[in-house]
Chains A and B, each alone.
Chain A
Amino acid sequence: KAGVTQTPRYLIKTRGQQVTLSCSPISGHRSVSWYQQTPGQGLQFLFEYFSETQRNKGNFPGRFSGRQFSNSRSEMNVSTLELGDSALYLCASRSQGAQETQYFGPGTRLLVL
């Protein structure tokens, strides 16, 4: 099975712009979560989607949003970018089985100038 894929892998934006990141989960996985990883804060949970519905949300401002499509692919959007949004954005997918392990993609590295 192919793993979690994320596009693009690298992105450079300027302050005030918006950005959309994409994630394709492992085939058969219906749950997708997003995390932000920074040197200062480490790995932090952004939100989780299951069956096109947001099921859980972390402590991030409303500029961070996401959605999930019927094929389980997910996108996250950050509007009005700030310098502090520079980070590695990781997507993880999970099956609905008893094993609750999340499998991560390689991440999208976002640099805000």
Chain B
Amino acid sequence: GENVGLHLPTLSVQEGDNSIINCAYSNSASDYFIWYKQESGKGPQFIIDIRSNMDKRQGQRVTVLLNKTVKHLSLQIAATQPGDSAVYFCAEVPTGGGNKLTFGTGTQLKVEL
């Protein structure tokens, strides 16, 4: 896939367990963060987003946590399923919006049956 050369960190979980994927961001001025999921051969798919004035946001089976003090973002996936296997990217949006997303290197999630 597109990310093999980056030596992506890999998280292996058992089906049904919860997954936690972490991301450190660099720009303290970023005011909006997005998690994307990318399956092999496909473009990134939006999962969930969070604004900098929040520290937690929940979606369907997913929760994003934001710690601005240490510039850390995490994605929690509950009851992980085989279909969750993919590369997960966090992306930050600079203050003022715009479309210049800065992506992290990504984490490969492998769900074992």
- Are A106's CB and B42's CB within 8 A? yes
* Interface residue stretch chosen among A11-19, A61-69, A76-84, A86-94: A86-94
Residue picked from B43, B46, B104, most chain A C-beta under 10 Å? B43
Query: Could you list 28 examples of A-B contacts with CB < 8 Å?
Result: A33-B100, A38-B2, A39-B2, A39-B4, A42-B103, A42-B104, A42-B105, A42-B106, A43-B89, A43-B103, A45-B99, A45-B101, A45-B102, A48-B98, A55-B98, A55-B99, A56-B100, A92-B43, A92-B99, A92-B101, A94-B99, A101-B34, A101-B46, A103-B46, A104-B44, A104-B45, A106-B41, A107-B43
Main DSSP-derived SS at the A contact region: strand
> Do the beta carbons of A33 and B99 come within 8 Å of each other?
yes
Chain A residues with CB under 8 A of B14:
none
B100/A45 in contact, CB under 8 A: yes
Within 8 A of B (CB), among A6-52: 31, 33, 35, 37-40, 42-45, 48
A-B CB proximity, top 4 nearest: A39-B5, A104-B43, A43-B103, A48-B99
Shortest beta-carbon distance from B88 to chain A in Å: 12
Q: Are B6 and A100 in contact (CB under 8 A)?
A: no
Contact among A48, A90, A101, A103 with B100 in the assembled complex (CB-CB below 8 Å): A48
Is B75 at the interface (CB under 8 A from chain A)? no
Report the separation of the CA atoms of residues A43 and B103 in the bound assembly, to the nearest whole angstrom: 6
Q: Which B residues touch A103, using CB under 8 A?
A: 46
Q: Which of B4, B34, B41, B44 has the most CB of A within 10 A?
A: B44
How far apart are A52's CB and chain B's nearest CB, in angstroms? 15
B21 → chain A closest CB, angstroms = 16
B81-96 CB mask vs A (1 if < 8 Å, else 0) is: 0000000010001000
